[in-house]
Structure 1
């Protein structure tokens, strides 16, 4: 084991990251169905002819297996909206491709309910996950890859101060074709005070 045991729960104000669960199927599916046009254009696809996207159960089993192998942290993004109810699922964030050894790096991806976009939820979630990876797991580098047309997602890394490291040509298979992505990164030395602290200072200044 490279770091503190999974599962882990991370929170700041009304934003809570927690592990995705099999019993989240109905709520997660409802959110995704409502946001199919919003999320679909940026969703990775299988380049193999006839390759079907995984079912919800297959996705959760795969993510949980990766978590047990210390290669991923599969979170749902939840938000406290009603004091009388559990935080509602408003998106998903996965830290994946965790590499240990001399690299100690990972890749982060996310999506959020369009109705909750622009409220600071995703930057807060990304900051929470990045701080956990740097401080608790001892990772050194976090990377986020975004299609250049995905303006809302680009705003997230701009707000958080991730460095633009340039274009990766035909990097991922998206919506039936190989697409270019811009690569953004941050290392632990760049946020000695913590990314969440820096984000909160910027948003409240």
Structure 2
């Protein structure tokens, strides 16, 4: 209670000190500005100590420091996690790159094999078509030769018929028929 009374008195004294009173007088007088300011400062510090403001501010600063330490630890953990994720992604990227290169190499090999197979298939197809063309040419040649022979035979028979009919007389015709009958009889018996 006594402390409070001193504080109240000091507060009134500091409020009562005006610039006009502070202009003259000895140092330990309420008329001296330096003395009033010093008293007011000490009174202010005493009030702060009485209400334990430095401890509260220290506690707040400690809490803030702990929060900052926690945030730093969390940031370190996040950084380490990000680095591990980055390393993981880089490994996966290398694996995917290697796999893509293997796929490309396999595709090139398959394409080369397919090209060779296609060349072989085309060569075989050309050989079959050439053989078929040769067969068609031979068949056409044989057909043409048969047609030419048949036509030649037809022409020869027609020409022979005209020649024979022109040279045949009824007496000669009867003699040929008789000769043919005799030949058939001799062969049958």
Q: TM-score range by the shorter chain?
A: under 0.3
Tell me which structure has the larger Cα radius of gyration: 2
Alignment TM-score, normalising by the size of structure 1: 0.18
Alignment TM-score, normalising by the size of structure 2: 0.19
Query: Between Structure 1 and Structure 2, which shows a larger proportion of strand residues?
Result: 1
Query: Between Structure 1 and Structure 2, which shows a larger proportion of helix residues?
Result: 2
